[in-house]
Chains A and B, each alone.
Chain A
Amino acid sequence: MKILNTALGIAAYCMLSMTNLSATSMTDDEITKADYKKLIKMLTPLAGSTPAQWRVVWSGDTTTTATVSWSTAVSGKKHTLHYGTKPFGTDVAKYENHLECKKSGAYSINAKEAETTKTAFYHHVPMTGLMPNTKYYFVMESDGEFSRQLYFKTCPKAENFKLLVGGDSRSGLASRCRMNLRLAKELKEKPEIVALNHGGDYIGSGHSWRQWRQWLSHHELTTLEDGRVLPIIPTRGNHDGGPIFFEVFNLDKMTDKHSFWHTISLGEDVQIITLDTNYSAKGPQEKWLTKQLSTIRPKTTWLLTNYHRPLYPAVKSPAGQTAVFVPLFEKYNVDLALESDGHCIKRTVPIRDGKKDASGVVYIGEGGLGVGQYRPKEDLWYLKNGGYVSRGHHVMQLSFSKDALNIETILMNGKVTDTHTLKPRAK
């Protein structure tokens, strides 16, 4: 029965791929009502050594580096990434580069799930020496099984670009999938979008492989029919505990078990410092943050911070790290702070010293990539008189240029519910 179902799944997948049923050709209305079962049939089943669950992960310098990762159901012997700046379809020999995967392993599975579920295997191929603002075509190969040709674009060095920002895709599988369709549609309509910054809480329990594998498969819906992949910038949420987060995004565990922070450089003008609100603010994280802020601030036009639990929340109480992070953000004049976790839409007024201040930091969030929404507190001083608060599945779009940072909040149906523009700080 199991084999029959897999066969049926693969057959359905092949048929749908051939008919090129495209998610991004759906209308906005169709996206909000998309049928979960139909969407699942469009995804690559995890079977044998067929490359599935691909993703492009960004950390560090995104103009010259990226990691292509995928999963296979069996461990396999040889996993190779064929890539280059010219498309050759599955004629893999013609690609300029062939990198053999050196970072493969089994996704961790907890003892309870292991009784009934098999784990799968990850494969990571980090690429360096890429050219900025360039399309890289790639095909993944595992033991002679090939993926279709996919591609992604490296971040431009100085040109204008857009970044999608969202978080909280942990429950509501259909809503998560529909939001992925939304991301894909935005990417298709605005090719200048470079990546998705996911603010964390991918799944409900970070220790559950059964939950992670669903998230990984659903992520395929963000890939366009022409093969364009939306790179992802990872953040650790409070539900993303455990080792699988690191195995999914090819991140090296830091000295302290499962803590994780990193800086993402998006060209010359935009830097994002991603923090870990599951970890102590004091000690190593504060030291690292201070150093990052002091070295980056003088050099960059747009300095953003990103972390999961809000410091100026619209739903819950402030994160434990607030007293440490906020003074540092204000001292080093962070332009924008990206938050998740509250399951609502919010944009604060600029804040300095606990007051509205034009020179302060704006905080936006708080997660709507599928999770059910909470009612935000509309009467908080930092959300009134120039701030914005609402609820609904959403993603935010940041448009960067040298003289403006435009923020748009886009709902599942494509409607823009809030816009705001930041001007660069005087040097």
Chain B
Amino acid sequence: MHIKHLESLKFGLAIVIALVFTATFTMNYFHEGTSLSKYITKQLELDRVKEVEAVAYTDMMLYADELTPVSEDVDLTEKAGSEEGFQRSQQIRFVDKNVTLVLMIVAWLMLIPALQRKRALSFIYLLMGMYLALLSVCKGLNGGSAFSEWAVPAHATRWLPCIALWLWLYLKPSSAENPYRVVKWMLIVSVSMTFATHGMEAIQLNPAFRDLLIGGFETISVTVFGPVSEVLLRLIGVMDVALALLIIFFQRKLWFLWMAAWGALTALSRPIAFGDILWEDALLRSGNCLIPVIIILWIYRKNTQTTKV
């Protein structure tokens, strides 16, 4: 009975992952390339124009710094023309779009029970998790947006559940319930990491959060003034961090319920606050709401079973 229930939760987790990959593909296809393709394009561009050598040469000539040894005769002629560089960036973009397309299709195909049962295919989820984690790493490396350096923990509800599902599918069904504890813990940790990071961002007044807060209140005709919004945002941040820590020590349904509601509200806050529907954006954050829901169902089922026994 319990195993069967877990099976449906496993299926639910696979759906969440498919949703995240749908959002990743849509954003990539209709808006801008992934952080990974941006990172690769930039590195190749810097290599094309010999930026490292150019910086070293400038350091030596203008600032008498020799951080990177370079000869005065260094050849700084670009390796290829800018049009060649552009064409290469277009090729990367093409591959980028298709990688996310394939991953989305695979994520939906993996919902077929027969495929889920094949242990060898479970590694697909490991790859998916690593891919999403890599996107977060690249987001941090690319910089240029507030708190992008915290992208890896902030996006934990995207990449960590993939790795959890890999483990879940890889473990032998015959083994008892205990091995699944690791899986459950991975989900709890992913929620905790995301909440803690968002909490820290709120405490440090992430400008995007403030806009959502003031805009959200405006929809119910409440004006939140600058200093009030700061206090509120910091309080929300403290609450997020506190919850993130609490769930590590005590797994109470109510807290996860609160997190699921809060996750849904923040994921949908853009359309609520500004009326513009960026559904891919909300979908990308669906894990922030749905992973806590899965954890609740897991705990709930376990509790009712224990009481029955």
Task: Specify whether A and B are partners.
Answer: yes
Q: List the interface of chain A (C-beta within 8 A of B).
A: 1-3, 5-6, 8-9, 12, 35-37, 40-41, 43-47, 73, 116-118, 171-175, 201, 204-205, 210, 213-214, 217, 238-239, 241, 256, 278-284, 315-317, 320-324, 372-375, 391
Residues of A within 8 A of B42 (CB): 171, 372
Give me the 9 closest cross-chain CB pairs, A-B, nearest first: A323-B274, A282-B214, A6-B64, A280-B210, A280-B207, A317-B31, A238-B144, A2-B64, A173-B54
Q: Name B's interface SS.
A: helix
> A205 to B148, alpha carbons, bound, how many Å?
12
How many chain B residues touch A (Cβ–Cβ < 8 Å)?
Answer: 54
Residues of B within 8 A of A201 (CB): 144
Instruction: Please state if B146 and A278 are interface contacts (CB–CB under 8 Å).
Output: yes
Q: List 15 A-B contacts (CB under 8 A).
A: A5-B61, A5-B66, A40-B58, A40-B62, A116-B67, A171-B51, A172-B51, A213-B62, A213-B63, A217-B62, A282-B229, A315-B32, A321-B211, A322-B274, A323-B273
Instruction: Please state if B32 and A3 are interface contacts (CB–CB under 8 Å).
Output: no
Which residue of the partner chain, among B62, B144, B208, contacts A320 with CB atoms under 8 Å? B208
Instruction: Please state if A375 and B90 are interface contacts (CB–CB under 8 Å).
Output: yes
> A342 to B45, alpha carbons, bound, how many Å?
16
Residues of B within 8 A of A44 (CB): 62
**B256 part of interface (Cβ distance < 8 Å):** no
Residues of A within 8 A of B208 (CB): 280, 320
Stretch at the interface among B78-86, B124-132, B187-195, B293-301: B78-86
With known contacts A239-B143, A283-B210, A317-B32, A47–B64 Cβ distance under 8 A: yes
Nearest CB in chain B: distance from A206 CB, A: 9
**B60 part of interface (Cβ distance < 8 Å):** yes
Which residue of the partner chain, among A40, A46, A279, A373, contacts B57 with CB atoms under 8 Å? A40
Whose C-beta in chain A lies nearest to the C-beta of B280?
A317
Instruction: Please state if A280 and B45 are interface contacts (CB–CB under 8 Å).
Output: no
Instruction: Please state if B215 and A282 are interface contacts (CB–CB under 8 Å).
Output: yes
> A241 to B32, alpha carbons, bound, how many Å?
22
Residues of B within 8 A of A391 (CB): 86
Whose C-beta in chain B lies nearest to the C-beta of A276?
B207
> A252 to B275, alpha carbons, bound, how many Å?
35
Nearest CB in chain A: distance from B209 CB, A: 8
Apart from A6-B64, A317-B32, A324-B211, what are 7 other A-B pairs with CB-CB below 8 Å?
A: A2-B64, A174-B49, A280-B208, A280-B214, A281-B211, A372-B86, A373-B86
Nearest CB in chain B: distance from A355 CB, A: 15
> A277 to B61, alpha carbons, bound, how many Å?
36
Nearest CB in chain B: distance from A367 CB, A: 13
With known contacts A173-B49, A282-B210, A37–B76 Cβ distance under 8 A: yes
**B306 part of interface (Cβ distance < 8 Å):** no
Instruction: Please state if B45 and A45 are interface contacts (CB–CB under 8 Å).
Output: no
Whose C-beta in chain B lies nearest to the C-beta of A317?
B31
> A257 to B254, alpha carbons, bound, how many Å?
37
With known contacts A324-B211, A373-B86, A217–B31 Cβ distance under 8 A: no
> A210 to B60, alpha carbons, bound, how many Å?
12
Residues of B within 8 A of A36 (CB): 54, 57, 76
Nearest CB in chain A: distance from B200 CB, A: 16
**B276 part of interface (Cβ distance < 8 Å):** yes
